[in-house]
A and B are shown apart, each in its own frame.
Chain A
């Protein structure tokens, strides 16, 4: 018979068909899901953030007030509306943004129909997906740290779901989770270091995954570079092997623009070749490694002029480095450049491209050049004349140039006379071409700031620059920076020193001033980011090979790495198992003999329960296997007496060891 055991007892209900989630498990789960979605709150549409918060709140209310879950039709309605909302927002259900939005909405709906253990498990895995989806937007240190914390909470929820009746309270589940995470760390490191890396992303990411990245554009029009100046995001970081070249030699070469349509400069299709374009170096080489931030472009930046090719990259005839795939991960490559050089004769096509001009445009500029040519037709003299014009006439270097109208070169040269680097480069190349000197525009970055503490150079988007190259007989392509003629400080000390209206610059690009200490702090933070980039995000196939051969593994291919990884994982597993076994295996001979005996029976399917005493165990074994009864009882009685009795005479201990050794189940 069963009696109620005290008057506070409620009448027993029939056991429910599903094992329900406990309030504590659900609380942790709700917290973990909310935390996982929180970083995306700004990316998601407002209605979706509100919906998610509302549904999580509703589920919490149901738990704490012990209300019923909403009816199925209502849930179906909410889910349909949410799906339609995503569809209206993004015009698709696929891709990064729509996918994440849909995942978020459906997770929230799932919450409202989850009552049992199984639902809890599904939600936890949806939660892990939500955590990972954050990485599609950013992979910086604060976010990753935050996501690790979210994983800890999610894991705790998982522990509570799976062991909800173990009665874990307060910190006990967190402690268990912490132990699991600690154990996972070596495995994570092994997998990170040794799992064979493949170039590019492991699986195809949706096209919209890379939108919204700032960077150089592939054409140049008035205002296109100065727009970029407003971002202090780091474009790339460079570590030099030896001395750092002076600022006026740090021209980071990007796309080379040949074609001018009267307003914008564009880049023709120049197929890259798989070997470096030859030139004659004059002077010492500079060796350095670049860690490039994702740009969604194939461009790799290098100092003038690059003499080496990173893996999976090619070089255009105008010395631009191109990778075979757009850079959507942090990418590290090693380079060698020669700051002093002499290039070969241009081809006929280069010559004709280098002289292309829209017919009849900018007549005043053409007239000016014709006048210069009459004085001295030498190309060098034309260059000098143009630079003298910029230097001696009232030209100003400014971030906020007035709008140019009509014939933009004429308008700039004779009316506004205020411009940023793109105005000067554009006008200069126009003048050269009009004078019959092949010339082209080069886009890239100039200068960069040394992070003294970290010993590396930071090149920001605000260092974006445009300059010119002219072809001079006997010297090849020569770099001419007309901006340097107007504002020499720009080239020698950076943008900040050159601008009078520097308030327009982003915070981190401003030097000195009241908040210099804050900027220094930011530089310190950048060091951390740089190490993160160099060692975690840029740990691609090349870096991996280099790292492993640095450890003395020799050239490692993917089979070797897989074997090494399996061995390391196995080794760790064996180590851990051994440690567990040792700590479980008692030093005490009595306990050890008993463990051996129990292990032997366990192999025959007669495992001792964790809370089963020796005599209870013997009784159970004897009932199940009567032929073993005598031996089992003898051992169990002897063990019980030695273990729990007041004395353990050595001869009896010996007897127990003999008995257990001889015991055969």
Chain B
């Protein structure tokens, strides 16, 4: 029997799950983010498996993988690449930087200077880079997983709100539960597991899956619901400023990808709710009277406040 696209996606999720134990939801969000052609920001403490997740995704989906460790002395050219003079050929030859890969792990993005950050973020937005007057397309698919350490630290440049918006989703991995942690401790080295991961999807199949996300049906009642969420976020004093239209589009796109990943041809309110914290959490800021609330609380309130059309 020929495996369908959905089966392959399931298999990929399951395979990545063998390396990152007990984090199926985060993995599914990451895959949805990739399918929705968005970029992912993981905010977590060091050692929670961010790199492993990125690496495992690259392996299972058959993507070229590059890791860029962001530091305060990293320059845009270190990411994008530069033209270097070659004596034998007596000409400048472009040496592509690490950004010319399909899956990029931008580690500790908030350690680099804003200039370097924006070089990456512009590449993410445009899907191409311009170096010395020449525009070069980035490979397809192009997926950035950026990580950021949320703890207060000296010498970091937190991403401004407008740039946070470039990430379709922001997730936290969090500590594994006791059972998963036990398996982790009992099991073999993660590097060995990674090395054995099968490739579940070819790049063409991944592109096809990305194309199919746009075709997932969103019925009028569902759009009503999404609009209800947007409207509430704008009216309520819980938030300082509501969700933008771009956030609305992002929410719908992510919900479509989530629905596809769950083998549905149409979006359910549950799909929207599933991706809601990851999609809107970093786009909403608490209002004056609610400063002490966490983003998760706020999104929970938003979710509870908007009723579903019958």
**Does A172 count as interface, using CB distance less than 8 angstroms?**
yes
* Contact A7–B237 (Cβ < 8 Å): no
Say which residue of B150, B292, B310 sits within 8 Å of A594 (CB atoms). B310
Tell which of B3-11, B187-195, B198-206, B260-268 binds the partner.
B260-268
Q: Which of A170-208 contact B (CB under 8 A)?
A: 170, 172
Given A167-B301, A167-B305, A611-B303, A12–B292 Cβ distance below 8 Å? yes
* Contact B291–A7 (Cβ < 8 Å): no
Inside 8 A of A457's CB, which chain B residues have their CB?
A: none
* Contact B296–A5 (Cβ < 8 Å): yes
Count of interface residues, chain A, beta-carbon cutoff 8 Å: 41
**Does A651 count as interface, using CB distance less than 8 angstroms?**
no
Say which residue of B235, B265, B268, B281 sits within 8 Å of A5 (CB atoms). B281
Say which residue of A7, A615, A645 sits within 8 Å of B158 (CB atoms). A7
Q: Which of B211-251 contact A (CB under 8 A)?
A: 217-219, 221-222, 235-239
Q: How many A-B residue pairs have CB under 8 A?
A: 107
Say which residue of A23, A584, A586, A644 sits within 8 Å of B266 (CB atoms). A644
A643 vs B224: C-alpha distance in the bound complex, in angstroms?
A: 12
Shortest Cβ gap from B287 to chain A (Å): 7
* Contact A645–B306 (Cβ < 8 Å): no
Closest residue to B271 on the A side, CB-wise? A613
* Contact B270–A586 (Cβ < 8 Å): no
* Contact A10–B270 (Cβ < 8 Å): no
Inside 8 A of A615's CB, which chain B residues have their CB?
A: 268, 270
Shortest Cβ gap from A545 to chain B (Å): 49
Q: Which of B278-310 contact A (CB under 8 A)?
A: 281-282, 285, 287, 289-292, 294-296, 301, 303-310
Closest residue to A609 on the B side, CB-wise? B304
**Does A482 count as interface, using CB distance less than 8 angstroms?**
no
* Contact A645–B292 (Cβ < 8 Å): no
Count of interface residues, chain B, beta-carbon cutoff 8 Å: 46
* Contact B308–A645 (Cβ < 8 Å): no
Closest residue to A612 on the B side, CB-wise? B308
Inside 8 A of A10's CB, which chain B residues have their CB?
A: 291-292
* Contact A5–B294 (Cβ < 8 Å): yes
**Does B43 count as interface, using CB distance less than 8 angstroms?**
yes
**Does A591 count as interface, using CB distance less than 8 angstroms?**
yes
Closest residue to A588 on the B side, CB-wise? B310
Inside 8 A of A612's CB, which chain B residues have their CB?
A: 308
* Contact B303–A6 (Cβ < 8 Å): no
**Does A1 count as interface, using CB distance less than 8 angstroms?**
yes
Q: Which of A587-615 contact B (CB under 8 A)?
A: 591, 594-595, 609-615
* Contact B150–A5 (Cβ < 8 Å): yes
Given A1-B174, A3-B44, A167–B238 Cβ distance below 8 Å? yes
Q: Which of A604-662 contact B (CB under 8 A)?
A: 609-616, 640-641, 643-646
A7 vs B294: C-alpha distance in the bound complex, in angstroms?
A: 11
**Does A168 count as interface, using CB distance less than 8 angstroms?**
yes
* Contact B150–A7 (Cβ < 8 Å): yes
Closest residue to B233 on the A side, CB-wise? A167
**Does A359 count as interface, using CB distance less than 8 angstroms?**
no
A185 vs B20: C-alpha distance in the bound complex, in angstroms?
A: 63
**Does A580 count as interface, using CB distance less than 8 angstroms?**
no
Inside 8 A of B174's CB, which chain A residues have their CB?
A: 1, 3
**Does B24 count as interface, using CB distance less than 8 angstroms?**
no
Residues on A lying within 8 angstroms of B by beta carbon are 1-10, 12-13, 22-24, 165-170, 172, 584, 586, 591, 594-595, 609-616, 640-641, 643-646
Residues on B lying within 8 angstroms of A by beta carbon are 43-45, 150, 152, 158, 172, 174-175, 217-219, 221-222, 235-239, 265-270, 273, 281-282, 285, 287, 289-292, 294-296, 301, 303-310
Closest A-B pairs by Cβ, 9 of them: A167-B236, A5-B295, A613-B270, A167-B238, A610-B307, A613-B269, A169-B237, A646-B217, A645-B266
- Please give 18 more A-B residue pairs, beta carbons under 8 A apart, in addition to A6-B150, A7-B152, A615-B270: A1-B175, A3-B44, A3-B172, A5-B150, A5-B295, A9-B294, A10-B291, A22-B289, A166-B236, A166-B305, A591-B310, A611-B307, A613-B269, A613-B270, A614-B270, A640-B268, A644-B268, A646-B217
Question: Could you list some 16 contacts between A and B, CB below 8 A?
Answer: A1-B174, A2-B294, A6-B150, A6-B295, A24-B237, A24-B289, A167-B238, A167-B239, A168-B237, A594-B310, A611-B269, A611-B304, A614-B269, A615-B270, A643-B219, A644-B217
